[in-house]
């Protein structure tokens, strides 16, 4: 794990939601190179190598996808998304929004800010497949070596 | 003699037309402007002022004169002739202001005034005064003074009406604001409650699934059934929360009105509902429905709820009969969906459109009890209404009315 590149970033403050997402990813052999960040502050620190992740964090890696919860304390998902998409170094990271309702008005805002797709929680296999397919990342599931 | 009558008539006519104008004025500024001009004209004065009482002060609010007087200035009640008129509740005429001790000479020196007449506005507890001024020594006639006092009396009534009106408007505005606030609070409350309620529910469902999928080898049949029942209930709760969310969204949504082709819309809704169900054939009659100005997305929701109910509650009959029609009156159009299904007892009809109210058990007919309250919210938002008619086991008719534009 240590020497492997981070492929999946999960930003989710709710520990139960995170557990379920990680399980869904595991079932698809996707949770191996995953990092779980517990709120927006951690996410930004990790992505930009600041705070607790100073001289560490993402560095020159290019993760395949970020799953980003919207409703988080301190710095929320919209703010994280805005910062990531505004920086040329990070804007190419595909971001999939995690929301608790398909009717969430924030989804529109997310797309305006450059989000690539969204999944309504609970994250189950079907919705997961749909979201990654939309991203053109279907190979990520199929070609991943099973362990 | 002829001339005087003519002048009087003109003054009287002026007074009459002032009364008419005053009765139409909507604010104090207009009232004051009308009064000061008319006051000057009916006495043939060289200037007129409109003074308002402001606590211990006389406020010279308006004026019309051959040269400036005191507009915008304030004087102590005790040091001003308008104050004297208000405090003594009586009018006064001063032919030579320089020989009257009540006059603050310094204030008059810069002006043209030699003579004046002053009448109080409202004789019981005066709220102001009207002043008339002459550049040459002059004594207004008794008749002129009477007309001036009449004008002041009418002014008092106008101002009181204005106050009543503005108080009423303030009260209405305040009440409306309070209501809007309470409504917003309630809606955002129910929205966040429904939102936050879903997180633990997701966890319950998720962990139950994990139990079912990852530990099935240690669960016996009984345990598996309990897991299944828990999942079913969690699903039911999720549907209830979804209903609440839908209802609160509906309450907050702004109407986007456009002409709606009602017959086409009802047909489309029926088609999509009868297609995706595993229903037997349904005997549908659909009349020519008048179009209406409304929010199509929301009206589609109304038809969806009514028609799906009609299909659901008539599904136990050998043949489902559904009739969609309308009635038109002068100011509204009423649409209805009639079925030959289970119906309900009319004594419970007041509960029908309440949130989470159900007249049938879930074993009989599935449902969360949110659909009809959503219909009601939509109709009310359009300024319309909902109601129903039924006979148990013979069928029900559900109505919604929308105003004609």
Distance from CA of B242 to the nearest CA of A (A): 9
Count of CB contacts below 8 A, A vs B?
Answer: 32
Q: Is pLDDT at B18 greater than 50 in this prediction?
A: yes
> Which chain A residue is nearest to residue B207, measuring alpha carbons?
A20
Distance from CA of A13 to the nearest CA of B (A): 11
Q: Which residue has the tokens 């809704």?
A: B269
Q: Which residue from B199, B210, B245 is facing A17, i.e. has the nearest CB?
A: B199
pLDDT tens digit sequence for B285-339: 999 999 999 999 899 999 999 999 999 888 888 888 999 999 999 999 999 999 9
Q: Which residues of A touch B200 (CB under 8 A)?
A: 16
Q: Which residues of B touch A16 (CB under 8 A)?
A: 199-200, 202-203, 206-207
pLDDT tens digit sequence for B205-251: 889 988 988 898 999 999 999 999 999 988 888 888 888 888 777 77
Q: Which residue from B195, B202, B245 is facing A17, i.e. has the nearest CB?
A: B202
CA distance A34 to A11: 11
Buried b (16+ CB within 10 A) or exposed e, B363-376: eebebbbbbbbbbb
Residue B195 in contact with partner chain A when CB distance is under 8 A: yes
The pairs formed by B375-379 with CB atoms below 8 angstroms and a separation of 24 or more are B375/B301, B375/B302, B375/B305, B375/B306, B375/B400, B377/B247, B377/B250, B377/B251, B378/B250, B378/B295, B378/B298, B378/B299, B378/B301, B378/B302, B379/B302
pLDDT at residue B172, as a whole number: 92
What band does B277 get if pLDDT is binned at 50, 70 and 90? low
CA distance A10 to A17: 11
> Quick one: average pLDDT of B56-73?
92
Q: Which residue from A20, A103, A122 is facing B249, i.e. has the nearest CB?
A: A103
> Is there a contact between A101 and B195 if contact means CB atoms under 8 Å apart?
yes
> Is there a contact between B205 and A100 if contact means CB atoms under 8 Å apart?
no
CA distance B282 to B279: 8
Q: Which residues of A touch B207 (CB under 8 A)?
A: 16
> Quick one: average pLDDT of B69-90?
91
Q: Which residue from A100, A101, A122 is facing B206, i.e. has the nearest CB?
A: A122
């Amino acid at each position: 794990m240590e020497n492997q590149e981070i492929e999946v970033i999960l930003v989710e403050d709710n520990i139960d939601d995170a557990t379920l997402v990680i399980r869904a990813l595991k079932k698809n052999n996707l949770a191996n190179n995953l990092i779980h960040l517990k709120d927006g502050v951690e996410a930004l620190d990790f992505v930009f190598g600041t705070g607790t992740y100073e001289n560490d964090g993402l560095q020159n890696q290019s993760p395949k996808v970020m799953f980003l919860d919207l409703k988080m304390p301190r710095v929320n998902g919209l703010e994280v998304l805005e910062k990531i998409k505004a920086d040329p170094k990070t804007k190419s990271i595909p971001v999939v929004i995690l929301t608790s309702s398909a009717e969430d008005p924030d989804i529109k805002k997310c797309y305006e800010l450059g989000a690539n797709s969204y999944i309504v929680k609970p994250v189950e296999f079907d919705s997961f497949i749909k979201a990654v397919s939309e991203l053109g990342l279907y190979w990520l599931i199929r070609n991943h070596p099973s362990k | 003699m002829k001339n005087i009558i003519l002048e009087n008539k003109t003054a009287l006519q002026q007074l009459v037309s002032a009364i008419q104008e005053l009765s139409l004025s909507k604010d104090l500024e207009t009232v004051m402007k009308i009064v000061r001009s008319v006051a000057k004209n009916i006495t043939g004065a060289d200037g007129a002022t409109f003074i308002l009482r402001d606590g211990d002060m006389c406020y010279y609010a308006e004026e019309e004169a051959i040269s400036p007087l005191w507009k915008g200035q304030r004087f102590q009640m005790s040091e001003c002739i308008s104050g004297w008129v208000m405090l003594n509740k009586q009018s006064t005429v001063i032919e030579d202001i320089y020989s009257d001790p009540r006059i603050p000479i310094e204030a008059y020196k810069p002006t043209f005034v030699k003579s004046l007449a002053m009448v109080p506005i409202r004789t019981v507890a005066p709220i102001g005064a009207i002043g008339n001024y002459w550049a040459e020594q002059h004594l207004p006639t008794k008749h002129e003074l009477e007309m001036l006092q009449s004008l002041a009396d009418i002014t008092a009534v106008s101002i009181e009406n204005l106050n009543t009106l503005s108080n009423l408007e303030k009260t209405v505005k305040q009440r409306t604001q309070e209501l809007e606030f309470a409504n917003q609070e309630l809606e955002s409350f129910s929205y966040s409650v429904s939102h936050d309620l879903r997180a633990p529910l997701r966890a319950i469902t998720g962990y139950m699934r994990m139990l079912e999928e990852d530990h099935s080898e240690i669960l016996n049949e009984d345990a598996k059934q309990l897991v299944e029942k828990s999942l079913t209930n969690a699903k039911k709760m999720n549907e209830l929360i979804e209903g609440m969310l839908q209802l609160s969204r509906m309450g907050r949504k702004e109407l986007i009105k456009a002409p709606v082709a009602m017959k086409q819309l009802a047909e489309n809704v029926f088609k999509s509902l009868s297609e995706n169900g595993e229903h037997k054939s349904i005997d549908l009659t659909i009349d020519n429905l008048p179009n209406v100005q409304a929010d199509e997305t929301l009206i589609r929701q109304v038809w969806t709820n009514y028609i799906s109910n009609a299909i659901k509650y008539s599904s136990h009959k050998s043949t489902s009969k559904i009739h969609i029609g309308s009635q038109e009156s002068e100011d509204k159009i009423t649409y209805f969906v009639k079925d030959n299904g289970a119906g309900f007892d009319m004594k419970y009809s007041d509960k029908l459109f309440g949130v989470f109210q159900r007249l049938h058990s879930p074993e009989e007919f599935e449902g969360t009890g949110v659909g009809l309250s959503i219909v009601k919210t939509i109709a009310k938002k359009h300024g319309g209404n909902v109601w129903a008619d039924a006979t148990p086991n013979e069928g029900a008719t559900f109505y919604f009315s929308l105003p004609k534009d």
